[in-house]
Amino acid sequence: MKMAVERNGAEKDDAAGHIRCMMSRRKFLMTGGVAALSVSTISLSLFPGGTVQAEVVEYPRKRIARLSQLKNDVPVDFNYPDDAPGSSAMLVKMGGIRAGGGIGPQEDVVAFSYLCTHQGGALEGLYRVVGDHRVLGQCPMHLSTFDLTRHGIVVSGQAYESLPQILLELDGDDIHAVGIMGLLYGRHRNVM
């Protein structure tokens, strides 16, 4: 391989030498594909039987309130799935405003955790009605606000996860909590 000499006396590769040490796009993709296949094969073989079983969590069924006794935009406080710290929640009938996951004739009854998903700030007493909007917040810690008509998504503030939504069932006039969509703040499992 020829070497050229720069003004300061240092040697540098010529163009032909540079091309010989370069990898073509085809060779790069083939090498990357083989590497990815090897890594995935090795990691799958780490699990016995080669498959991973999903864990199904059994939530308790808990009666919370009667639909006929709910007043529009007046939250009902309860604990779910247990009475341990971090399980405080609210149920609210949003005055005919249809909501994601809502139950009842107008699909306007929803329930959510009272703990902000950012750092666990308490959201009790912060339910707000602004025109057709139904929000929970602003969190006193970092001002996060959540839209209850759209599964509790973050609309402002530091939080980056939606509020955990309590899944509800209507049995006649009785409203039951039957599960949670999302992880309650401060827990690694919703059901202890």
For 42-62, how does the pLDDT look when each residue is reduced to its tens digit (9 = 90+)? 555 555 565 666 677 799 999
Distance CA 9, CA 3 (A): 11
pLDDT at residue 4 in the model: 53
Q: Cis omega before residue 53 (within 30°)? A: no
On whether the CB atoms of residues 175 and 110 are closer than 8 A, the answer is: no
- For the entire predicted model, the pTM comes to 0.72
62-181: which CATH architecture?
3-layer Sandwich (2.102)
Q: Give start-end residues of each CATH 2.102.10.10 domain in the chain.
A: 62-181
On whether the CB atoms of residues 156 and 145 are closer than 8 A, the answer is: yes
pLDDT at residue 19 in the model: 63
For 62-100, how does the pLDDT look when each residue is reduced to its tens digit (9 = 90+)? 999 999 999 999 999 999 999 998 999 999 999 999 999
Counted residue by residue, the chain has a size of: 192
Share of the chain above pLDDT 90, in %: 66
pLDDT at residue 1 in the model: 46
